Amino acid sequence: QVQLVESGGGLVQAGGSLRLSCAASGSIFSVNTMGWYRQAPGKQRELVAVIVRSGSTNYRDAVKGRFSISRDNAKNTVYLQMNNLKREDTAVYYCYADVTVVGGTLGYWGQGTQVTVSS
């Protein structure tokens, strides 16, 4: 019933920037906490950044000062601005959202988008 659709991934050289977006759609009462995770080859999925409805954010140390998470509550959309990308940022990035629907609050995942940093 609820879908999270991601976009913005791609191939970029080290030092470059990308902006990811993730839009939630469907039978939604409200979108609550939203975040971005990533999974590199051979590694476990890890939290990158999280943002609550009030706008408070948290980041893993490796991306602090380089990445910025934001959201547009009217559009049920979360963004991840990634600057000064490093090769170690290469991963599949997944959007996550806690969404209140008719039956309660459930967690949803986006389809994943590949970010590849070269050089």
pLDDT band at 19 (very low <50, low <70, confident <90, very high): very high
Average pLDDT over the chain, rounded to whole? 96
Q: What is the mean pLDDT of residues 12-36?
A: 97
CB atoms < 10 A from the CB of 40, how many? 14
**Token pair listed for 83:** 């600057």
What pLDDT score does 1 carry? 85
What is the chain's alpha carbon radius of gyration, rounded to the nearest angstrom? 14
* Token pair listed for 48: 């990158």
Rounded Cα–Cα distance for residues 48 and 94 (Å): 10
DSSP label at 71?
E
Please give the pLDDT value at position 83: 98
Average pLDDT rounded to a whole number, residues 6-28: 97
pLDDT at 103: 87
Percent of the chain with pLDDT over 70: 100
Q: How many CB atoms are closer than 10 A to CB 98? A: 16
